[in-house]
Amino acid sequence: MMLLIEKLKDQSLTEQEKRIALYMIKQEERLKDMSVRDIAHELYVAPSSIMRFSQKLGYSGFIAFKEAYLHEISYRQAHFHDIDANKPIEPTDRNMTIAAKMSALYKETIDDTFGLLQHDTLQTCINKLVKAQHIYICALGIQMQPALNFKDKMLRIGKEVTVFSTKEELYYTAMCAPQDSCFVFISYTGESKRPLQVLDDLIEKEIPNFGITTFGGNSLSQKTTCLNVSTREKLTSSLGSFGFNLSVMYLLDVLYGAIFNSDYDKNYAYKCQKTKAFEKGEGRKTNNKLIRD
């Protein structure tokens, strides 16, 4: 996964492409009112060169490139703030400074993720989960814990969720999955080969699915509807996947809240009944008035 601004700074571009890329970087929002001919005239190149450049970056033409680039500029200006998501702490930071920085990072990450949400996309994902009788989540590695937390919440309202711990489980389950299933793919890069192969099979069989991945475009988001996580962390230079984990947890909580709300009274009654029965069996009590029912 690579943001457009990074693609425009790619040193492997030809000299002419670098000129075009530098022009795009300098113009930024001003591109909104510019046409292919305007840019070609400014750079003394043929309009077809601008079109080929846009296609090389993965777009059908300049219009599609411009729309995506302006959207990315808006995202970066609105959501990249003061805390470095890759290195939020420094060697000289004291404990309370670290605590303050992590607090700021968490707040920025949630605001960032919320800013990427689009109503129609969110509603599409919610509808798929509400209708599904079998929910499967592909969340390998560091994404496992937020997915397991989501599974636990869903069980409390009587909705079973399976979280795959291996790619083999994902592959063989997808082979025989019923039509009333929904598969959720959680991936920061959106480029894992086996899950993408499974996704192709699901699409061919018309089994509902969606993804949770980074903003900026990748193979996963090209194949299916996706919710976007905060996209501020590098693959290897980040101190820890703070932002990604928090974004995934937030989005899964949003989905859970919406599913709960789809039949609020029934779900609330079910959860309270089962929770009370469980707590009674455990014999748990508390003297803390803040948490006592």
Look up the CATH number of the domain holding residue 119: 3.40.50.10490
136 and 58 in a common domain = no
Residue 235 has pLDDT above 50, yes or no: no
49 and 178 in a common domain = no
| DSSP assignment string, 71-124 | HHHHHHHHH--SS-SS----TT--HHHHHHHHHHHHHHHHHHHHHH--HHHHHH
Average pLDDT over residues 117-123: 95
143 and 32 in a common domain = no
In a domain, 101, yes or no: no
167 — phi, psi (to 5°)?
-70, -30
Cα 137 from chain centroid (whole Å)? 14
Residue 169 has pLDDT above 80, yes or no: yes
227 — phi, psi (to 5°)?
-95, 145
Average pLDDT over residues 83-101: 73
Separation of alpha carbons 23 and 30, rounded Å: 11
* Structural contact between residues 56 and 204, judged by C-beta atoms closer than 8 angstroms: no
Here the tokens at position 7 are 């693609």
In a domain, 16, yes or no: yes
In a domain, 93, yes or no: no
Domain count, the chain: 2
pLDDT tens figures, 170-207? 999 999 999 999 999 999 888 989 999 999 999 999 99
In a domain, 88, yes or no: no
62 — phi, psi (to 5°)?
-65, -40
Q: Which residues contact 234 (CB under 8 A, 6 or more apart)?
A: 86
114 and 71 in a common domain = no
Residue 213's DSSP bridge partners are: 228
DSSP conformation class of 60: S
121 and 17 in a common domain = no
pTM for the model stands at: 0.71
In a domain, 293, yes or no: no
Separation of alpha carbons 35 and 230, rounded Å: 31
186 and 44 in a common domain = no
Average pLDDT over residues 4-17: 86
In a domain, 140, yes or no: yes
pLDDT tens figures, 241-264? 677 888 999 999 999 999 999 999
In a domain, 133, yes or no: yes
123 and 62 in a common domain = no
Task: Give the confidence band of 80 by pLDDT, cuts at 50, 70, 90.
Answer: very low
72 and 144 in a common domain = no
Here the tokens at position 42 are 């400014």
154 and 66 in a common domain = no
What's the mean pLDDT when you consider all of the chain? Answer: 86
Separation of alpha carbons 54 and 31, rounded Å: 13
SS3 content of the chain, % helix, strand, coil (to 5): 60, 10, 30
Residue 93 has pLDDT above 80, yes or no: no
Domain of 161? 110-276
154 and 44 in a common domain = no
Residue 11 CB neighbours (<10 A)? 5
209 and 156 in a common domain = yes
Separation of alpha carbons 187 and 244, rounded Å: 10
In a domain, 154, yes or no: yes
Helix residue spans in 132-177 (DSSP H): 144-155, 167-175
Which of residues 60, 79, 98 is at a domain's end?
A: 79
202 and 69 in a common domain = no
